């Protein structure tokens, strides 16, 4: 058993993977679907705080947080206690068919994070993709329209409806046949690669113009469009924040035409960017907000929150067996209290600290093209040449692998970026350790060019 206080920093004792880890990997290869994408051979045995231990006793500093899920760190004692208590009282009853107080109690907490100008209602699900599906259905039901606008580079999930919106990597869509019709993808504002040379604050005006002047006039009339769905910070796409004006423009267009603006906060939400929701930085009021991942510290839990006037579907229109499971809600409620009680502020503070130490990496390392993000959602883009901005997926992979061998867990994002998305509990000592390891790992990868 490891405790967060005892072990705050990583320690590698064996060659990686170690002998016990190798056994698990071989066992896994026998039975598990080969579609899973393991970037490097980490085998997790137990975890606490920001530390993950493998079966050989190596400890790693986790700057991936189970893909931005373990917001309160691993096995936070308050989350564990809430799960244990609830598991002894009531594990399941099916909120679709019966009542239990945990659903409205947590829904009330979620609604407290939403703009006060509106009344809101909540639907609970189990995963990000499930709430994307639910939001597509709600937007279609409410507007009685069927067309959808999504963005290149965005990721919304892997079930057939959400996959129709996902435009992240073609492998995720290849060989799965026809997806939902009536979906149009438009570019996402990507300041580092902006063809017009705009900045992080101004990139994307031409995309708004394209939507209004091209898509609305040549493809779909706006009165046919049910929803625009957008990630306020692209997660899988490379940790790319949309400029605030861009989100404000999407709200203006949506309001003007009665289109539902759906903010997919599955990766960016729940305090990670220093505010409850990444869209809060833009001061907008979406119609539907999606959350999952960081909401319940690792328990399968998701929700969509919609304006009361929008969530007006009839009894039986939508349901779920497990959504709103009492044990998941207990974890979510404890997670919420911890985020509200200091972790959101910590995300902003330590995020700014990390940013202040690494924003000059493009000046210090020739393979770092860009450092961007908000709070503890920071992307580092790796290029072969800063002038041409040639994407260097191989060097990115090398940095991630080098970091793993030094005891730091990170994940790639997009074609050639690294995501820094630690648990929201990390302190400056852990941030310094991660920065030191990343710098060594980048330096080592640079030797390859």
Q: Could you give the CA distance from residue 419 to residue 408 in angstroms, rounded to a whole number?
A: 12
Contact positions with ligand PLP (CB under 6 A) in 96-155: 127-129, 132, 155
CB of 375 to ligand PLP, least distance (A): 16
**Smaller CB separation from ligand PLP, 155 or 361:** 155
**Smaller CB separation from ligand PLP, 282 or 445:** 282
Contact positions with ligand PLP (CB under 6 A) in 229-288: 231, 235-236, 264, 266-267
Burial of 210 (0-12, 13-18, 19+ CB in 10 A): middle
User: How many Cβ atoms are within 10 Å of 368's Cβ, its own excluded?
Assistant: 24
Which residue is it, tokens 């729940």? 270
Burial of 227 (0-12, 13-18, 19+ CB in 10 A): buried
CB of 158 to ligand PLP, least distance (A): 6
**Smaller CB separation from ligand PLP, 18 or 235:** 235
Q: Could you give the CA distance from residue 82 to residue 173 in angstroms, rounded to a whole number?
A: 39
CB of 126 to ligand PLP, least distance (A): 8
25: helix, strand or coil: helix
Judge whether 397 and 403 are in contact, CB under 8 Å: no
Judge whether 345 and 352 are in contact, CB under 8 Å: no
Q: How many residues bind ligand PLP (CB under 6 A)?
A: 15
Q: Which residues of 298-314 are buried (b: 16+ CB within 10 A; e: fewer)?
A: bbbbbbbbbbeebbeee
Residue nearest to ligand PLP (CB): 128
Which residue is it, tokens 């490379």? 238
Examine residue 406 and say whether the peptide bond preceding it is cis (omega within 30 degrees of 0): no
CB of 217 to ligand PLP, least distance (A): 29
CB of 53 to ligand PLP, least distance (A): 25
**Smaller CB separation from ligand PLP, 66 or 204:** 66
CB of 246 to ligand PLP, least distance (A): 17
Does residue number 156 form part of the binding site for ligand PLP (CB under 6 A)? yes
Q: Print the binding letters for residues 21-60 with ligand PLP: x by CB under 6 A, - otherwise.
A: ----------------------------------------
**Smaller CB separation from ligand PLP, 236 or 401:** 236
Q: Which residues contact 360 (CB under 8 A, 6 or more apart)?
A: none
Q: Which parts of this chain interact with ligand PLP (CB under 6 A)? A: 67, 127-129, 132, 155-157, 231, 235-236, 264, 266-267, 292
């Amino acid at each position: 058993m490891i405790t967060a206080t005892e072990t705050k920093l990583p320690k590698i004792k064996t060659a990686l993977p170690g002998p016990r880890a190798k056994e698990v990997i071989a066992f896994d290869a026998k039975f598990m679907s080969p579609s899973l994408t393991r970037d490097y051979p980490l085998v997790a045995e137990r975890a606490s705080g920001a530390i993950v231990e493998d079966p050989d006793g190596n400890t790693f500093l986790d700057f991936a947080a189970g893909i931005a899920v373990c917001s309160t760190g691993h096995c936070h004692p308050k989350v564990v206690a809430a799960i244990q208590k609830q598991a002894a009282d009531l594990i399941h009853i099916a909120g679709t068919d019966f009542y239990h107080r945990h659903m409205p109690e947590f829904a009330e907490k979620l609604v407290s994070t939403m703009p006060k100008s509106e009344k809101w209602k909540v639907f609970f699900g189990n995963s990000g993709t499930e709430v994307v599906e639910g939001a597509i259905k709600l937007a279609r039901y409410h507007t009685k329209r069927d067309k959808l606008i999504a963005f290149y580079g965005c990721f919304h999930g892997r079930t057939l409806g959400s996959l129709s919106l996902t435009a992240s990597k073609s492998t995720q869509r290849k060989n799965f046949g026809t997806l939902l019709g009536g979906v149009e993808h438009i570019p996402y504002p990507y300041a580092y690669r902006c063809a017009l040379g705009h900045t992080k604050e101004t990139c994307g005006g031409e995309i708004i113009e394209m939507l209004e002047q091209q898509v609305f006039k040549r493809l779909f009339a706006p009165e046919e469009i049910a929803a625009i769905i957008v990630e306020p910070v692209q997660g899988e796409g490379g940790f790319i924040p949309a400029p605030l004006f861009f989100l404000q423009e999407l709200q203006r267009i949506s309001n003007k035409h009665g289109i539902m603006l759906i903010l997919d906060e599955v990766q960016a939400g729940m305090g990670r960017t220093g505010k409850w929701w990444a869209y809060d930085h833009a001061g907008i009021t979406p119609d539907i907000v999606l959350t999952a991942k960081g909401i319940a510290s690792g328990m399968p839990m998701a929700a969509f929150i919609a304006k009361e006037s929008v969530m007006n579907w009839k009894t039986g229109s939508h349901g779920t067996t497990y959504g709103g499971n009492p044990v998941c809600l207990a974890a979510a409620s404890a997670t919420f209290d911890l985020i509200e009680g200091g972790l959101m502020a910590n995300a902003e503070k330590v995020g700014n600290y990390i940013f202040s130490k690494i924003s000059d990496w493009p000046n210090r390392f020739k393979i770092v093209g860009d450092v961007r993000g908000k709070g503890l959602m920071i992307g580092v883009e790796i290029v072969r040449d800063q002038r041409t901005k040639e994407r260097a997926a191989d060097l990115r992979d090398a940095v991630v692998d080098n970091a793993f061998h030094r005891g730091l867990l990170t994940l790639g994002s997009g074609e050639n970026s690294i995501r820094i998305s630690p648990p929201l509990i990390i302190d400056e000592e852990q941030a310094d350790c991660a920065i030191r390891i990343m710098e060594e790992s980048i330096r080592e990868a640079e030797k390859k060019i």
